[in-house]
């Protein structure tokens, strides 16, 4: 078995699962200031049973990086040290604010709601900043940093898209109508983020340029951007259907948003493979000893079914529309 390749796939799946699952609840957190107090209660109820467990996928992805690809630890975390620390601060602030707002009254609750927004925004922005730095190979210079800042802002918009479509699925009435407007705004930010990454990646890497512009071999790859545009159009149409009140349409905007993120992630994975650090370190060069990888594979085979099973069970138990007051 090609163990480094297997762990690369597992790490990719873990990161994608985190981005989709924790992305929507980070997006809901960033939308809190745009809602009324009663709507905020419903929004918190819509993510309350899931948000903490969603972060399990982040722990799994980072754990695979640290154990299966230890040689990549220095260049990756060394280049992303400050954004990683800031992201963790944001996630901790968010967790504290979520619990404290339950007991707070009056202006104290409003304060913790704003801190919940701040933690969500900080974590989201730092994740986008890390993505921008990663795909440019941690290159120094003002232009590279400004690009990373734009990617950070775009990922915030992308998480808002996921959060808004999640609220379309889980809420109704005025809040659902607001979520439709938020989703369409977030879709524009996702388009900006995908465009920025698509432009920058071949500019900084000769390997990526060869993959993208080696005709006719790359004609098959053109399916990914075409499918992404189709998913974006489907999301726009789906939000219009929900606005008209058509039955059984509430899940479609969220499904289309997940499809956009999945297709964009697949395109990025194709572009970067087989590198852990772009044009510097491949997955085979960064991998741990085969003996260690075999032991890790046994552990992953035991742990992963529990994580997947718990995730499926929790979403099944708490399915349906969210009601306010569950976390007040």
Q: What are the tokens at 11?
A: 């790490």
Q: Position of tokens 């993208």?
A: 212
Per DSSP, the residues of 127-184 read HHHHHHHHHTTT--SHHHHHHHHHHHHHHHHHHHHHHHHHHHHH--THHHHHHHHHHH
Task: Give the SS3 label for residue 42.
Answer: helix
Residue 121: cis peptide before it, omega within 30 degrees of 0 = no
Contact (Cβ atoms closer than 8 angstroms) between residue 157 and residue 189 = yes
Task: Give the SS3 label for residue 118.
Answer: helix
pLDDT per residue, tens digit, the chain (328 aa), is 689 999 999 999 999 999 999 999 999 999 988 888 888 888 888 888 888 888 888 888 888 888 889 888 888 888 888 899 999 999 999 888 888 877 777 777 788 888 989 999 999 999 999 988 888 888 888 888 888 888 888 889 899 999 999 999 998 888 889 999 999 888 888 888 778 777 777 776 777 777 777 766 677 677 888 888 899 999 998 888 888 777 567 889 999 999 999 998 888 888 888 888 887 888 999 989 999 999 999 988 998 999 899 889 988 888 888 887 666 6
Q: Position of tokens 């796939």?
A: 9
Residue 281 φ then ψ, to 5°: -145, 115
Q: What DSSP element (H or E) covers 282?
A: strand 281-282
CB neighbour list of residue 235: distance below 8 Å, 6 or more residues apart: 165, 183, 187, 252, 253, 256, 257, 260
CB-side exposure of 88: number of CA atoms within 13 Å?
A: 7
């Amino acid at each position: 078995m090609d163990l480094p390749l297997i762990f690369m796939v597992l790490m990719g799946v873990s990161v994608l699962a985190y981005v989709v699952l924790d992305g929507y609840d980070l997006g809901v957190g960033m939308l809190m200031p745009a809602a009324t107090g009663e709507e905020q209660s419903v929004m918190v109820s819509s993510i309350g049973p899931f948000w903490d467990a969603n972060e399990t996928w982040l722990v799994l992805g980072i754990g695979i990086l640290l154990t299966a690809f230890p040689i990549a630890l220095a260049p990756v975390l060394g280049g992303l040290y400050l954004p990683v620390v800031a992201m963790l601060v944001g996630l901790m602030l968010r967790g504290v604010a979520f619990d404290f707002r339950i007991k707070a009254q009056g202006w104290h609750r409003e304060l913790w709601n704003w801190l919940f927004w701040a933690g969500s925004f900080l974590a989201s922005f730092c994740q986008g900043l890390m993505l921008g730095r990663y795909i440019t190979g941690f290159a120094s210079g003002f232009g590279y940093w400004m690009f990373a800042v734009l990617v950070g802002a775009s990922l915030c918009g992308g998480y808002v898209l996921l959060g808004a479509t999640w609220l379309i699925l889980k809420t109704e009435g005025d809040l659902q109508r607001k979520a439709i407007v938020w989703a369409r705004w977030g879709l524009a930010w996702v388009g900006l983020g995908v465009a920025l990454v698509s432009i920058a990646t071949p500019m900084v890497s000769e390997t990526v340029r060869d993959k993208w512009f080696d005709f006719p071999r790359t004609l098959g790859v053109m399916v990914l951007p075409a499918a992404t545009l189709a998913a974006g159009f489907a999301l726009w149409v789906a939000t219009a259907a929900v606005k008209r009140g058509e039955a059984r349409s509430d899940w479609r905007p969220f499904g289309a948003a997940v499809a956009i993120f999945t297709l964009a992630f697949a395109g990025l994975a194709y572009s970067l493979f087989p590198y852990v650090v772009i044009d510097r370190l491949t997955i085979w060069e960064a991998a741990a000893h085969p003996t260690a990888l075999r032991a890790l594979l046994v552990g992953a085979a035991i742990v992963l079914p529990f994580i997947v099973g718990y995730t499926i069970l929790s979403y099944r138990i708490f399915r349906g529309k969210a009601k306010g007051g569950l976390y007040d």
